[in-house]
Amino acid sequence: MIAALKKEIFLRKDELQNENLQSLYFGGGTPSILSGDEIKSLIDEVLKYFSFNSDIEITLEANPDDLDKNFLKRLSDSPINRLSIGTQSFFDEDLRLMNRVHNASDAEGSIKRAQDFGFENLSIDLIYGSPTSNLEIWKQNLNKTIALEVPHISSYALTVEPKTALESWIANGKVSTPKEEEQNREFYYMTDFLRDHGFQHYEISNFAKEGFHSRHNSAYWKYNEYLGIGPSAHSYNGFDVRSWNIANNQQYIKKLNSKLLAKETEILSPKDQFNEMIMIGLRTTWGVDLESLKNKFKEEILDTFNKEIQQKMADGILIKENNHLKIPEKHWFMADGIASDLFQV
C-alpha cells in the first residue's frame, strides 16, 4: 500500500495549480496504524514534488488506542503538528454501542499523552444523540473536553448506517432508535456551552478556539482545490472537475502497480457547481459569497435562487451579512434541508 501511494503521488504531481501546500492530512480511516517511519517516508515523498508553506498544518487522524508513548515519541520527531483523535465519548457504554476498540480510559489517556509530547493542536471527535446517552451524560462529555483543554472539537449526531451492528441491535429491540428531538436538544446545548467557553462555531459540526481552526477542512468548505491520494480519496480542481479513487485496496494497488490511476472523474455542470456551493457555504459561519455567485453563474440560475431566498429571509431562516448569505446559528440543525430547498434541479 505504501508503494502504491507513492506511485499515485508521482503520477498526479502536476494536478495542483499551487504547488506550495498549505495543509497535508492523513485521514480517511486509521492512518495511525502506520509506523512513524512509514508516515515520514510518505511526507518525504510529497516533498519531492511539492513545497510546504512555512507554517503548513500536517494532521494525522488517530485512534486513541494507537497513541501509546512509543508512537507519540516518533510522531513528535516528525513533521506532524496536529492530531485528530477519534474519541467519540468518555463513557464506556457509548463506546461499546459504537463498536469502538478503545475504552473511556484510553480516550482520556491518549489526549493527555499527546499533550505531554508537545501536541497542543488537537482535535477530538464527539458523538451526541446516542441511545446509551442523555443530556446529563452529554454535559459530562463536554465538561471533560474543557477540562482536558482540547482546542478543536468535531461533533456529530449518531446515525444508523445500513448493515451495521447498531442497525441490527435496533431491529432486534436491543437498543432504541436515536431520537431526533434529543439530538436537537444536545446540539443546541453544545453550541451555547462551547461558545461560553471561548469556542467559535465555524461549521455546523466544528468548533475551535482562536487560532485552532482546521485549515485543511476549511479549504474544503471554502471550495478550494485539493488532491486526495489513496483508496476512496476524493479530489477537486477548484472549478468543475471532481474525482474519486476506487475503494477496494487490492484493486487500487493492482492499478498503481501497472502505473494506472485508480480513479473515476466527474465533470460538474453549472447546476452541480451551484448546488455544491450552496450546500457547503450554508454549513459555515462565513456563508455563501453572493458576489462570487453573481460572477460565476448565469442569470437564469440566479433569478430562481433570488426568488427562493426571499421567503426564507422573511421567515428569518436566512440572513444577509456583508453580501454573504447565511443561516442563523439557531437554525443550523436544519441547514441541509434549508440548502436543498435552494438547489437548482
Distance (Å, whole) CA 296 – CA 302:
10
The model's confidence at residue 51, banded by pLDDT at 50, 70 and 90, is: very high
The answer, yes or no, to whether residue 169 has pLDDT greater than 90, is no
Cα–Cα distance, 123 to 61 (Å, whole number): 9
Distance from the first to the final alpha carbon of the chain? 40
**Residue 316 Rama label (left phi>0; alpha psi -120 to 50; beta):** left
Answer yes or no: is pLDDT of 150 > 90. Answer: yes
Alpha-carbon torsion, ordered 243, 60, 48, 226, to 10 deg: 30
Task: Please state, in angstroms and rounded to a whole number, the distance separating the CA atoms of residues 87 and 127.
Answer: 9
Q: How far is CA 116 from CA 36, 58, 89, 110, 154, in A?
A: 18, 19, 21, 10, 22
pLDDT tens profile 85-108: 999 999 999 999 888 999 999 999
C-alpha 156/C-alpha 126 separation (Å) is 7
pLDDT at 243: 96
Q: Which three cell numbers stand for residue 24?
A: 497535508
Extract long-range pairs of 65-71: CB within 8 Å, 24+ residues apart: 65/101, 65/102, 65/106, 65/110, 66/30, 66/32, 66/33, 67/32, 67/110, 67/113, 67/114, 68/113, 69/113, 69/117, 71/32, 71/36
**C-alpha 96, offset from chain centre:** 23
Q: Is pLDDT at 49 greater than 80 in this prediction? A: yes
pLDDT tens-digit readout, 11-37? 999 998 777 999 999 998 789 989 999
pLDDT, the chain, mean:
93
Spatial distance between the Cα atoms of 37 and 104, rounded to a whole number of angstroms: 29
Distance of CA 170 to the CA centre of its chain: 27
**Lookup: cell for 250:** 487490492
